[in-house]
Each structure stands twice: as C-alpha cells, then as structure tokens.
Amino acid sequence: MDAAAATARPSDITRQIGVISAAVFMIIAALVGTGLLGGTPVQDLQGGALDADGSYLAPARPAFQIWSAIYLGLLAYTVWQAMPGQRESARQRTIGWWIALTMVLNGLWLVLAQFTTLLLTLVGIVVLLVALAVTFRIAVRTRQGGDGLADALLIDGVTGLHLGWVTLATVANATALLTQTAPGAWADAATGVGIAVLVVVGLIGVALAVASRGRIAPALALAWGLSWLAVARLTGEPESFGIGVAAIVVAVVVLVAAVVVRFGRAGVPAA
C-alpha cells in the first residue's frame, strides 16, 4: 500500500472500474475498427491511404505489430491496477483516469478510420497524442525510487511505447491526408519535405529523452517505427532513398539520445 494514501476512498473503486471499462471499450472498438467483426480490413481503410504505400512517411506493415505489445501492456496494466493493493495507490489515483482516456481514444481512432473520414482520423490521433503526452508527463513526475518493476513496465513502459508509436503514427496519418488532398505536383518536393519532417521527429525524440530523464520506451517505439519506415521507402512504393536513409539516421539518434541520458543519470529507473 502507498504510504501517502493509506485510506481507501469510494472513488478508488470507481477508478478501477473505469479503467476496466475503458479497456473493454478499446478491445471492442479495435475488433470493429480493424474489420475483424465485419467491415473493411485495416490495411484497406480510407481507400488504403493509411497502408504502407499510402504516403512517403508510412512504415511497412510489420511495424504495426507493435500494437500487439501496446495492447497486451494496457491489458496487463488493467488487471494490475484492479488489484486490491493498487486501490489506494497515490500514483494510480493521479494517472489511472488518464490511462483510461488513452485507451478510449485509441479504440475511437480505429472506429473513426472504419466509419468516417481521413480528416477525422487525423483529429482523433492528434487528440490521442496530446492525451498520451500528458499521461507520460504525469508518469515521469510521479515516479518514485521505491516503485517496483510493475510500475516501471506497466505505467512508464507501456505509456512510453504508446506515446512513441503514436508520435510517428500521427506523422503518417497527417502525411496520408496530405497525399490524398495536395496537388500532384507537390510530389516533386516529397523527399525534401519528408526528410525535414523526420528531422522534426528526431528532435521530438531527443526532447522526450531529456524531459523523461532517459526513459527508453518512447525511443524504442520511435526507432521501431522509423526502421520500418526506412524499409518501406527503400524496398517498396513510393520509393525514396533519401527518406529511407534519413529514417535510419533519425532512429539511431533517438536511441542514442535516450541511452546517453539514461545512463548519464545514475539511479534513474529504466522504463
């Protein structure tokens, strides 16, 4: 039991039930949004605009396997936070509803992709990104040296993976919309613009490493997505050698920044 929160409150059980409800919604929404319960398969959503060949900044299909790790992590968090020992935790009280919100928004994005427009999917994923950024900031701020491995993995780790991946997914979503709506002549500038965007992604990754005191999870998710983006551009369509190489360089920079910050701070818990 958290010493800073020794007395149970009625709102604690409400929070635990709320997180469970959010997880259930996320899973049902994912089943509907990916077409597993009928409808359009996920790779064909929005006319294929969100697939690996939908834009210059879309990762190859294997990159999306990271969702399995994120979903499993969120479900493990849901079970863990529901345990009696977590009911009165001050950290759970601070972050539980935020993680629930990210699960709802996660599922909602897939529903938007299945049934609405590409513009609304971009709005949805931007809102999710903002919620994840706030949640991750809370996770970093509330982390204590005495917190255990479960805290590190299921709060810091899972939230970090989710944030890192959605950061890149937001870029891909925005690029998909631009690809569908911009004049065809803009394709001539695609490589230059794509490299510039990747530089910004790299700066965001470095900023995350510094602000989070070297949390590894966001960097791993970003590097994973960037690596598969490089594969998509170097071996698939639309092909772009410049974007592919830039994605590899940015992935290395993001990982190195996180490692340098992490191991440059003795005693900071890995997550």
Count of CB atoms within 10 A of residue 188's CB? Answer: 8
Query: Sign of dihedral through CA atoms 166, 169, 175, 177?
Result: negative
**Alpha carbons 105 and 233: distance in angstroms, whole number:** 29
Quote the pLDDT of residue 147.
73
Quote the pLDDT of residue 181.
83
Could you tell me the pLDDT band of residue 146, with boundaries at 50, 70 and 90?
Answer: low
Q: Tell me the whole-structure pTM to 2 decimals.
A: 0.91
Mind listing the pLDDT tens digit for each residue in 56-73? 999 999 999 999 999 999
| DSSP character string of 237-248 | SS--HHHHHHHH
Choose among 62, 50, 68, 45: nearest CA to 230: 62
- Which bin fits 48, alpha (ψ -120 to 50), beta or left (φ > 0)? left
Contact yes or no for 103/26 (Cβ under 8 A): yes
Mind listing the pLDDT tens digit for each residue in 181-198? 877 776 778 899 999 999
Quote the pLDDT of residue 50.
87
Kindly tell me if the per-residue pLDDT of 129 is higher than 60: yes
Query: Based on C-alpha coordinates, what's the Rg of the chain?
Result: 19
Look up residue 176 and give its two tokens.
Answer: 């998909």
Kindly tell me if the per-residue pLDDT of 95 is higher than 90: yes
